[in-house]
Structure 1
């Protein structure tokens, strides 16, 4: 996994998403943020992972 501090995202949260535990825990994920903050990238990555 590649993590960039410049995006100022919570690294623990990103690691939880990367591990896929949110799927087994039936967590609801809402991605919010300004333009170019990585929302679409995270959504697409999550869909590919699942």
Structure 2
């Protein structure tokens, strides 16, 4: 969320997460799905997508 705030692309600033259920803070590995579909992301990172540097 720091990168989203830094990007300046949104008027409203992020305050905090409101819950702790679900995949919050977890990383998922989708390499098998990407290989089977032959799909690669357009951007190498979320920071590149937002157009900001870390």
TM-score (norm. length: structure 2):
0.28
Higher helix share: 1
Higher relative contact order (CA 8 A, sep 6+): 2
TM-score (norm. length: structure 1):
0.29
